[in-house]
Amino acid sequence: MKNFLILLITFLSLSIQAQTNEYEVSSYLEEGFKAPNTNYLGEAWLNPLIRSDESLSYNITKATFKANSTLNWHKHTDRQVLIIVSGKGYYQEKGKQPIVIKEGDILKCTSNTEHWHSSSKNQDVTYLAIYKGETEWTEVLTQEAYDEVSRLLNDE
């Protein structure tokens, strides 16, 4: 009986393992990895959920920016959609006024539109970014410019 139970447990473990190997499952709840500090100020975490390949033409990345953190100005060769999952942040397109973004907001940025997005001064922001192609970094967003946006939006 004891040998039978050991054999049964082993079989069930292998069966469960085989089932999970049949699917590519990831979770947007995982924080991901700390992003190298190259195109932003502050602290950011990235979780690349889906990468484009021959069968899927877009990427989905979860990004978390800690309070007082921002991306530099950039653009994408195709449209980008941002789905704000939690927190509060800022968004601005070149030539337009910045806005506050918050949980539940969905933003669509047209292709080749220079923009930046960030956490707010005092709150983290987490979003899902859906995009195609490469990101082209165009201009550094300084801490002073970020602070000015925070003042302009009465969010200090």
Q: For residues 59-78, give the mean pLDDT.
A: 94
- What's this model's pTM, rounded to 2 decimal places? 0.80
What range defines the domain where residue 36 resides?
30-152
CB-CB contact of 118 with 39 (8 Å): no
Least confident segment among 21-35, 54-68, 107-121: 21-35
> How many Å apart are CA 131 and CA 79, to the nearest integer?
6
Q: How many structural domains does the chain have?
A: 1
Closest CA to 61 of 30, 86, 40: 30
Q: CATH number of the domain that 47 lies in?
A: 2.60.120.10
81 is a domain residue: yes
2 in a domain, yes or no? Answer: no
For 8-55, the pLDDT digits (tens) are 455 545 545 445 578 877 776 777 778 888 899 999 999 988 787 777
Q: How far apart are CA 37 and CA 46, in angstroms?
A: 12
